[in-house]
Structure 1
Amino acid sequence: MKVTIRKWQTVSSWHWDVSEECCGICRMQFDACCVDCKMPGDDCPPVWGACKHAFHMHCILKWLNSNQQQCPMCRSNWEFVTTD
């Protein structure tokens, strides 16, 4: 028996590899975008702190610029962690 494929249609989806469901500041899912963005994706990635909490990049930057230097979830001093 010989099978011939006439048409191939691919479907894909993406999601951030984050253990938490949503940003602790704006409460939006990480696969969505923060309230300051119009479209999800690379412009609004999740970022992690040394305390292992994750937030949208724009949300934590806004939090830190409001003279808060602590994690909004656990109040430990905020330090960005790079992910590889």
Structure 2
Amino acid sequence: MKVKILRILLSFWNAVASWTWDVQDEACGICRKKYDANCPTCKFPGDDCTLVWGACNHVFHLHCILRWVHSRQICPMCRSQWQFKL
């Protein structure tokens, strides 16, 4: 029995990847932009605007919820006392 071996020489490799946040909603409840996009405060992706979860399990952009709790200490979605989930 003869076996043929096929060898391939790669001259270059283009790797492609994508990621998404593992959350139930698709958009921030305050600014209504998708979680994968920037909040209105950020100009470019990766401007240290991550997602934060509250004790009530609602999720917002960090900059959005910081502006919100500056004037009110409640969750914008369920109106419970806002606390960051640890």
Scaled by the length of structure 2, the TM-score of the pair is 0.86
Q: Deviations over 1:30-62 (max 9, x none)?
A: 100111111122611010001100000010010
Partners of 1:64 and 1:2 in 2: CA distance? 61
Which segments of structure 1 move beyond 6 Å, counting only runs of 4 or more? none
Scaled by the length of structure 1, the TM-score of the pair is 0.87
Q: In the alignment, which residue of structure 1 is the partner of 2:75?
A: 71
1:6 matched to 2:6: no
Partners of 2:24 and 2:46 in 1: CA distance? 17
Partners of 1:62 and 1:10 in 2: CA distance? 38
Distance 1:27 1:19, change over 3 A: same
5+ residue gaps, structure 2, are 1-5
Max Rg structure: 2
Within-5 A mapping of 1:1-84:
1-41=6-46, 43-66=48-71, 68-82=72-86
Aligned-pair distance for 1:22?
Answer: 0.5
Aligned-pair distance for 1:13?
Answer: 2.1
After superposition, the CA RMSD in angstroms is: 1.3
Report which stretch shifted further, 55-64 or 8-17.
8-17
5+ residue gaps, structure 1, are none
- How many residue pairs are counted as aligned between the two chains? 81
Q: Is the 8 A contact 1:32 1:39 kept in 2?
A: no
